[in-house]
Amino acid sequence: MTPLLSIVTPAYNASRFVLETIRSVRAQTFADWEMIVVDDCSKDDTRGIVEAQSQADPRVQLVRHEVNQGPAGARETAIQRGRGRYVAFLDSDDLWLPQKLERQLAFMQRTGAALSFTQFRRVDAQGHTRGRLIDVPERLSYRQLLKNTAIATSSVVVDRGQTGPFHMTRTYYDDYALWLSILRRGFAAHGLREDLMRYRVLGQSVSRNKARSAAMVWRVYRDVEKLGLIDSLWCFAHYASRGAFKYRAF
């Protein structure tokens, strides 16, 4: 039977957290899913942990890369392997609350959203909640997303029954570039204002390196979206101000 939803999980040296991540999926109240974990040539026991979970629950699938391809390549492999109409993204150290899929799919079916995302809270390496609830706007267009940091990857679900096939761009912020590529076609991203995801913040997390994150967003503007200099500066000013507000309490 073809699952309704496919979960995309890239994994590289993820043995510290991937078991907890998989357990958060297996605890979902919505059961019609497949989870595709792509091991991108890990040097730790990521593969063994995922294999054990796959034996316990065949909905969890392990795919191994023979050559390291980075997060974009791992996500692309999972997207193309996935059979579901809906595609959900979950990084290997993040967590979902038990009703995440049930609530989000109902929201998408009610609103007709092609892409949706949710509120979330940050947790540290030990799983302790840190900071405040991160709110989301009710709706983002392509132009609005260029100026916003609101979409957290592990909160996203895409309805490819509406969008048709899509692919990762092997670039700096591959997830951000994907959301932009979908919205550029005229779709809107709908924000579900419910707390349904836990975003893990680690000391070495790329997203915690603000300067590098900012540089990658700038390169998406210029190299992927091909924005002019003035337009890029305008969007970047809004992006930076919203980003500062978003992280002020962590």
d(CA 199, CA 221) in angstroms, rounded, equals 25
d(CA 180, CA 22) in angstroms, rounded, equals 28
What's the confidence (pLDDT) of residue 205? 47
In this structure, whether the domain defined by 5-204 belongs to CATH 3.40.50.620 is answered with: no
Q: Pick from 195, 199, 53: which is nearest to 125 by CA?
A: 199
Give me the chain's average pLDDT, please.
90
CA-CA-CA-CA torsion sign (199, 200, 205, 209): positive
pLDDT in tens, 57-77: 999 999 999 999 999 999 999
DSSP string across the chain? ---SEEEEEEESS-TTTHHHHHHHHHT-S---EEEEEEE-S-SSSHHHHHHHHHHH-TTEEEEE-SS--HHHHHHHHHHHH---SEEEE--TT-EE-TTHHHHHHHHHHHHT-SEEEEEEEEE-TT--EEEEEE---SEE-HHHHHT-----GGG-EEEHHHH-------STTHHHHHHHHHHTTT--EEEEEEEEEEEE--TT-GGG-HHHHHHHHHHIIIIIS---HHHHHHHHHHHHHHHHHHTTT-
What's the confidence (pLDDT) of residue 61? 98
How many CA atoms lie within 13 Å of 125's alpha carbon, on the beta-carbon side?
Answer: 7
What's the confidence (pLDDT) of residue 128? 85
Confidence of residue 217 (pLDDT cuts 50, 70, 90): confident
d(CA 86, CA 56) in angstroms, rounded, equals 24
Residue 247, pLDDT > 60, answer no
| 31 in Cβ contact with 39 (< 8 Å) | no
Per this entry, what is the length of the chain?
Answer: 250
Calculate the alpha carbon distances from 145 to 141, 184, 209 in Å: 6, 10, 21
Residue 219, pLDDT > 80, answer no
pLDDT in tens, 70-115: 999 999 999 999 999 999 999 999 999 999 999 999 999 999 999 9
What's the confidence (pLDDT) of residue 129? 84
pLDDT in tens, 170-209: 877 899 999 999 999 999 999 999 999 999 988 654 444 6
pLDDT in tens, 8-17: 999 999 999 9
d(CA 14, CA 117) in angstroms, rounded, equals 24
pLDDT in tens, 16-51: 999 999 999 999 999 999 999 999 999 999 999 999
Domain locations along the chain: 5-204
d(CA 111, CA 89) in angstroms, rounded, equals 20
Within 8 A by CB and 6+ apart from 77, the residues are 36, 38, 63, 65, 69
d(CA 225, CA 128) in angstroms, rounded, equals 37
